[in-house]
Structure 1
Amino acid sequence: MLTFLLCSCGENKSSDSNTDEGPTEETSPVSFTAIGDVPYNEEQRLGLIDIISKHNTINSSEFVIHVGDIKPGARDCDEDVYLDVADILKTFKVPTFIVLGDNEYNDCEDPALGLEYWNKYFLHFNENWSFEPHITYQTERPENFSWIENKVLFIGINLVGSQVHDSIEWQDRLTQNGQWVKTMLEEHKSSVEATVVFGHANIVEADPDKFKPFTDLFRAASLSFGKPVLMVQGDGHFWIKNNPWPEQNITRLQIDGRDTAVQITVNTNLDYPFLFDRNFLN
């Protein structure tokens, strides 16, 4: 694990000076933990268990998101793998969400069977805990979810990489993902100040053309939204934080993955609301 802290801060939107409208009411920040691409081997499995133990002691995040890949792509998609990781993740004290990774789905010898196992153990995984915000699921893709908390819109989508087995299915799935993000951003534009999108695949460096049905919709919707958008992904196994597209309100974060964790805080009182702490479990 890298041992330095990356933190992006902005100025507070509120002003101490008096205005005709009076002081702006501040909104409480939302902190959550992101993990992903874990466990790939027994060492990482034990590392994940250690992360959860430390996390339960600190208990400073409101929820956890696993951004996909619960196994290495070369390992068979055996049902016991899904059961084992589900049982481990259930030991988090805070609500835990997960999105699909390609290793447990698209890279399986039988992707349909991999998806069947994933749905059995991980679909609506967050319902293993009590969680106050109301979760909305997309009708066409029930693995896609969304909720609003403290003026932040959170969206999870089935965005996997790797092979295209069926070009029609691939395009339909990406289009449905894009439409889900677009609909959520349009419906909640007036009531939220920032959005966080969770997906697995690196859609910037890893053959970006095949992700265009999603990326074009996502970028256009984010531009129209006009407020800060953070896209959190796994897949690459090393840290990237940048603005990869001309729409400068979109920040893309690729987490380190493996047996590491990052705490992300969304503070809508700041002009740039996203802060990152990669050392909070040290």
Structure 2
Amino acid sequence: MMKTTLLRACLAFGLVLSMPAALAQQGFSFVALGDLPYGSPEKAYVPYRALIDRINQVGPDFSIHVGDIKSGSTLCSDEEFANQLQHFQRFKGAVVFTPGDNEWTDCHRANNGGYDPLERLAALRKGFFKPGQSLGSQPIRVQSQAQRTPAFATYVENLRWQHQGVQFNTVHIVGSNNNLEARDPAASKEFYERDAANIAWIQSAFADAATQNPSLIVFAFQADVFDSKSMYEDFPGWSGFRQSIGETLLPLAQRWGKPVLVIHGDSHKFKLDQPFTLNRQPLPNITRLIVPGASDVRAVKVTVQPGAALAFELISPVP
């Protein structure tokens, strides 16, 4: 039943997302997951570890975790961070991580331990990001914005790598309106500085694509950028995603014209669609994948075929 439902979902988007059976053994695959593990170690760790073990059996070329390595009501402690680093090392292959809001912006909550969000962000950057390489037991080479652009030396978490003619990018865009909080001067300052870095990183992705000519560009981040949508605009003035997504990624993707895949979490429900528009016109070259998460402990295997045809398969902890 699941395979039939998923196949129909893929075919609904035509050739960009469909895959001829004869080509099933070609191309490469990666796994996308996020918003995991959610809950106490006693309840959440066992199924999450089972999912990682299943991913190891599937054997993707690498995995991408789009953030929220803990729920919004658990401690942002050093111990929790250490546990999640151990989980990333449980992956037999490489795993690339981009932060979510639960591991830093929301850590001021009493049930999170009342931490300083900026201190937790600094701890994430120090503990989870190594110059030039991903996480996982067999890390891959990656390039960070910090390495590439001295003006953005803080942003070790914005990563880029190439794989079989596809360009991959992580961008530090998180839920909770991307930490844009007008009532908190420190949060606003952090947002505007990171937003400038994200915009520059997205721009450089398309600049690289102009010379390297990838068949597909992939952007992975945590936030569901439509959370701040109004009746009249996808990205109103108060949206923390207006400049990075609405005024940067979308027009550059439209101009580039070739396939773009946007992967995010935050909403916790698996979805494949093409929701992006620019000037009220649909952008059919941009496909969105929302990974499952929270109580839905599954991941998504993405198979990339020659010519940027994509196929998607949900992975459960038990085969």
Name the amino acid aligned to 1:10: L
Residue aligning to 1:7: 10
Deviation at 1:178, TM superposition (A): 2.1
Partners of 1:131 and 1:117 in 2: CA distance: 21
Conserved in 2, the CA contact under 8 Å of 1:73 and 1:107?
Answer: yes
Question: Once the two structures are superposed, what CA deviation does each residue of 1:159-195 show, in whole Å capped at 9, x if it has no partner?
Answer: 1121434323312312321221111112223421111
In the superposition, relative to structure 1, how do residues 56 and 11 fare at CA in structure 2: closer, same or farther (>3 Å)?
Answer: closer
Residue aligning to 1:261: 299
Instruction: Specify which structure has the bigger relative contact order, considering alpha-carbon pairs within 8 angstroms and separated by 6 or more residues.
Output: 1
Conserved in 2, the CA contact under 8 Å of 1:71 and 1:104?
Answer: yes
Partners of 2:54 and 2:273 in 1: CA distance: 29
**Gap regions ≥5 residues in structure 2:** 18-25, 109-115, 147-151, 230-234, 278-282
Question: Once the two structures are superposed, what CA deviation does each residue of 1:192-243 show, in whole Å capped at 9, x if it has no partner?
Answer: 1111111000002345422112111111211122110011001001122222
Which is further off, 252-261 or 192-201? 252-261
**2:220 equivalent among 180, 198, 201:** 198
Residue aligning to 2:93: 94
Partners of 2:192 and 2:286 in 1: CA distance: 23
Which is further off, 208-217 or 226-235? 208-217
In the superposition, relative to structure 1, how do residues 192 and 117 fare at CA in structure 2: closer, same or farther (>3 Å)?
Answer: same
**Gap regions ≥5 residues in structure 1:** 13-27
Name the amino acid aligned to 1:39: P
Question: Once the two structures are superposed, what CA deviation does each residue of 1:37-57 show, in whole Å capped at 9, x if it has no partner?
Answer: 111123332111001122222
Name the amino acid aligned to 1:38: L
Higher helix share: 2
Q: TM-score, normalised by structure 2?
A: 0.76
State how many pairs are aligned.
263
Which is further off, 228-237 or 36-45? 36-45
In the superposition, relative to structure 1, how do residues 245 and 268 fare at CA in structure 2: closer, same or farther (>3 Å)?
Answer: same
Identity, in percent, stands at 27
Name the amino acid aligned to 1:72: S
SS in 1 for 2:102: coil
Q: Is residue 2:174 matched to residue 1:160?
A: yes
**1:212 equivalent among 242, 255, 261:** 242
In the superposition, relative to structure 1, how do residues 80 and 199 fare at CA in structure 2: closer, same or farther (>3 Å)?
Answer: same
Name the amino acid aligned to 2:254: L
1:164-183 alignment, distance < 5 Å: 164=181, 165=184, 166-183=187-204
Residue aligning to 1:126: 134
Which is further off, 239-248 or 90-99? 239-248
In the superposition, relative to structure 1, how do residues 11 and 242 fare at CA in structure 2: closer, same or farther (>3 Å)?
Answer: closer
Residue aligning to 1:146: 160
Deviation at 1:101, TM superposition (A): 0.3
Q: TM-score, normalised by structure 1?
A: 0.85
Partners of 1:279 and 1:123 in 2: CA distance: 26
CA RMSD of aligned residues (A): 2.3
